[in-house]
Amino acid sequence: MKTIRELAVEDLQFHPPLDTSHFATTDDIEDLDGAVGQPRAVAAIELGVGMVEDGYNIFAFGLPGTGKESLIREHLKKTAKSRPSPPDLCYVHNFEDQHRPRLIALPSGAGAEFRRTMVQLVEELLTALTTALDSEEYHTRQQVINDEFKERPDRDLRAIADRAKAEGLALLRTPVGLAFAPLREGEVISGEEFEQLPAEEQDRLKERMNAYQEEVQRTLRQIPKLNRERRERLRELMREVTSLAVGHLMDEAKKKYEQLPEVVEYLEAVRTDVIEHAKDLVEPEQPGLSALLGEGAGRPDSTTMLKRFQVNLLVDHAETAGAPIVHEDNPTYDNLIGRIEHLAQLGALVTDFTLIKAGALHRANGGYLMLEAHKLLRNTFAWEGLKRALQSRRLRIESLGQALSLVSSVTLEPEPMPLQVQVILTGSPMLYYLLCQYDPDFEELFKVGADFDDRMDRTEENLRHYVQLVAKLVREKSLMPLDGSGIGRLAEHSARIAGDRRKLTLQIATIVDVLREANYLAGQDGAKTVTESHIDRAIQGRVYRADRLRDRFQEEIGRGRIMIDTAGAVVGQVNGMSVISFGNFAFGHPSRITARVRLGQGDVVDIEREVELGGPIHSKGVLILGAYLGARYSPDKPLSLAASLVFEQTYAGVEGDSASMAELIALISAIADVPIRQSLAVTGSVNQRGQVQAVGGVTEKIEGFFDICLQRGLTGAEGVLLPTANVENLVLRRDVRDAIAGGRFHIYPVDEVDQAIELLTNQEAGERGTDGHYPAGTVNALVEARLASLAAVRKDFNAPAARAKDQS
């Protein structure tokens, strides 16, 4: 028999142990400086944040709750401090093309002052204009021009009328024009009277009327030209008066901003516009309609006119120290790129440059923008918009309709903003690898991948950091301090989450949740310190809230509806172990695996696969068994059995190869007709050489079988077999450890199938001797003999057919 050392409870200790001797509570522990357990991610972030070249944006990926955002934010804060604050950004009216608002950059924090300056300047300009245009001088000169031009045609017409009257002709106003008619005694003569005039007189009158009509025509045709001249003279007068009125105010403003050529240029445009539209500014038209119709349609009202001089302070960095760090929680296309809002006026939607709203990229320009990848990708066209901005290094505010050329209505095209921003995406590894695979732009734009680990080695140094991390979290979240026992229990739970006694989890969010819940329980107890008991109750509470389904499984087994034997021995039947995961909770339970054999052609039928309940990995494991059996027990004869394997009473899919050792034992038992101990359960996969390989979920599986045995009463015979390679994964519950310590439950690590055979059958497995045979009475000898017998039978079956073939 092979020697198999069962695990002692000491083998389940954590190593190295947690040293809590140097502190009473976490209050005594200094904060952790820097990150813990993420050297790879930190190196990536340091590189990404340090690089200023294009494309060195960062994608930080890792499991949820691994502290990606807080670690990145910590690094960004340090770097951002030493970088200059970016300029404030303003949109102003473009006096040459109102549909293309101009972008003006001002030194950081100067935007608000510029906006105030413009408000004050416009107030002063209006006062100056009103005074100038109300002046006696202006009115008099305006009157002189008006009189000169208005009186001229009237005077001319009167002169014509007077001359015509002297020649016996009257100038008449018809409903639509002017006409001449011969007069007699002050009255127009009738047709009969005219006919009675001498022919020469008639001709003279007609000729004179024609001449006067032509004069009138010339006079009337001069009127448009005179009106144009009059308007031009009035405009000239207005320019002269308003230039004088606003000149010194504009000069003062330009002097204030002489270091900023963009602003000076804008102020010059303002000056020209004020002079050109002075009358509209001080004599506003009825508001509303003209605002709707726009400038081209009529004279704008004063609100519209004055709005042109407003400053839309898009990004104000007055309160920003260093480079900005912006986190956009809702990264829609508009929230990233910015948007142009509209107002409803008289049933139509109108907009102007004051309705341009900044996006996160505007606010983060010159600094850093943090986004969650899954939110970004979920928002229609947000990812495309971000990529376009990063690729072109210009931020152009346009609606989705514009960007996709879906609408062509007149709207604004604000001047694009040069973009210098570093984007940091956070997300899951799956998203990262999918983007790498399917988006050709991704690796070009996100050259730095920061891979966040979800666990770290349990070294002495890391344990110290772990304690510091817990202390920091406790203080950050304003929780009660933990004593040494509390931290010890938390570290144990961390190992369990990591699934390895030599590791500690880095899923900080889960640790924080446990800390918060323990803090609550401690508060309920009126305690001042969180202890092991509070942490333990918090963990148990989390399990209790999630384990209804596990209870249901155990109940079904307890009531015999799911058949599991934990005593006696049965041929071809073994207790395998499965794990069910849902949400963030997983539990194990035993599953009965049975095997039946008969004469056949070497087929090992996986019933799960036949009914499409078995996954590919499970099928692979079963196929390996056939190969193992044939190679080990029947290397020179056809494997002449037909075997079937089944997971009894499973009604959902089975996946994974962790039951392949159990399936092999069941097969061997069935072939050799050797019963298997039902007090033991088995997990582990086997390869073609019969070596036992590591599997997952061993802690949950053992606890699942333990719970069933405990339910029925531990006799001291119960236990489990698992791959030796999995021993370090065991982070068992205290009650399981206590049972092991008391010899009431056993864990047997095995490296090869024969060890498992001996443990499960209480018979020697047997080594093939120098004579090529297994020792008589051993399990392997029985297997070999049975297979040889089946091969012989098969040969006999095939003999008549062979003979018939020879004769033919």
Partner 1 sequence: MTARHQESIRRITVALDASASSLAALEAALDLAAQWGAEVEGIFVEDINLLRWASLPFAVEVGHVSGEFRRSNRPDVERQLRTLADRAHAHLRRAADRRGVRASFRKVQGNVVAALRAALGETDLVTIGRGERPRTGRSGLGSTARALAAGRRGLVFVISQRVRLASPIALLFDDSAIGHRALMIAFDVARRSAQPLAIITAGERAELPEDLLDRAAHAAVELRTYHIRTDRPSRLAAMAQGISAGILVVSAEQFSPEEIEEVASAFPGALLLVGQPGS
Active-site residues, by number, are 658, 701
Residue of 17, 39, 64, 177 interacting with partner 1 (CB under 8 A): 177
Q: 619 phi and psi, to 5 degrees?
A: -65, -40
CB of 289 to partner 1, least distance (A): 22
Write out the binding residues for partner 1, residues 132-151 only, by CB under 8 A: 147, 150-151
CB of 195 to partner 1, least distance (A): 9
CB of 346 to partner 1, least distance (A): 27
Residue that the structure tokens 């509470």 belong to: 541
Write out the binding residues for partner 1, residues 60-79 only, by CB under 8 A: none
Judging by beta carbons within 10 Å of its beta carbon (0-12, 13-18, 19+), is residue 460 exposed, middle or buried?
exposed
CB of 406 to partner 1, least distance (A): 47
- Give the whole-angstrom CA distance, residue 609 versus residue 647: 11
Beta strands in 711-787 (DSSP E): 719-723, 746-750
H-type helices in 286-372, by residue range?
A: 289-293, 302-307, 333-337, 360-364
Q: Should residue 284 be labelled a site residue for partner 1 when binding is judged by CB under 8 A?
A: no
Q: Should residue 364 be labelled a site residue for partner 1 when binding is judged by CB under 8 A?
A: no
Question: Which x/- pattern over 211-230 shows residues binding partner 1 (rule: CB under 8 A)?
Answer: --x--xx--xx-x---x---
Find all residues with CB under 8 Å of 766, minimum gap 6, and list them.
754, 774, 775, 778, 779, 780, 781
Among 616, 620, 622, residue whose Cα is nearest residue 595: 622
- CA 13 centroid distance within chain: 41
Q: Should residue 153 be labelled a site residue for partner 1 when binding is judged by CB under 8 A?
A: yes
Closest to partner 1 by CB, 209 vs 725, is 209
The two beta strands, 448-451 and 58-61, are parallel
Q: Should residue 178 be labelled a site residue for partner 1 when binding is judged by CB under 8 A?
A: yes
Q: Should residue 165 be labelled a site residue for partner 1 when binding is judged by CB under 8 A?
A: no
Closest to partner 1 by CB, 170 vs 403, is 170
Closest to partner 1 by CB, 171 vs 535, is 171
Closest to partner 1 by CB, 32 vs 178, is 178
Over the Cα atoms of the chain, what is R_g?
47
The DSSP-derived string for 50-62 is H--STTB-EEEE-
Closest to partner 1 by CB, 190 vs 711, is 190
Residue of 81, 100, 116, 206 interacting with partner 1 (CB under 8 A): 206
SS3 of 22-42: the string is CCCEHHHCCCCCCCCCCHHHH
Residue of 4, 32, 63, 188 interacting with partner 1 (CB under 8 A): 188
User: What does the block give as tokens for 36?
Assistant: 């813990």
Closest to partner 1 by CB, 28 vs 187, is 187
User: What does the block give as tokens for 781?
Assistant: 């000898």
Q: Should residue 381 be labelled a site residue for partner 1 when binding is judged by CB under 8 A?
A: no
Alpha-carbon distances of 307 from 95, 263, 316, 577, 717, rounded to whole Å: 12, 17, 20, 75, 89
User: What does the block give as tokens for 761?
Assistant: 């059958």
- CA 142 centroid distance within chain: 66
Q: Should residue 264 be labelled a site residue for partner 1 when binding is judged by CB under 8 A?
A: no
CB of 155 to partner 1, least distance (A): 9
CB of 194 to partner 1, least distance (A): 6
Q: How many CB atoms sit inside 10 A of residue 446's CB?
A: 24
Closest to partner 1 by CB, 173 vs 559, is 173
Q: How many residues bind partner 1 (CB under 8 A)?
A: 30
CB of 217 to partner 1, least distance (A): 5
Give the interface segment with partner 1, choosing from 184-192, 317-325, 479-487, 562-570 (CB under 8 A). 184-192
Residue of 21, 96, 191, 545 interacting with partner 1 (CB under 8 A): 191
User: What does the block give as tokens for 188?
Assistant: 């127009």
Footprint on this chain of partner 1 (rule: CB under 8 A): 147, 150-151, 153-154, 170, 172-179, 181, 187-191, 194, 206, 209, 213, 216-217, 220-221, 223, 227
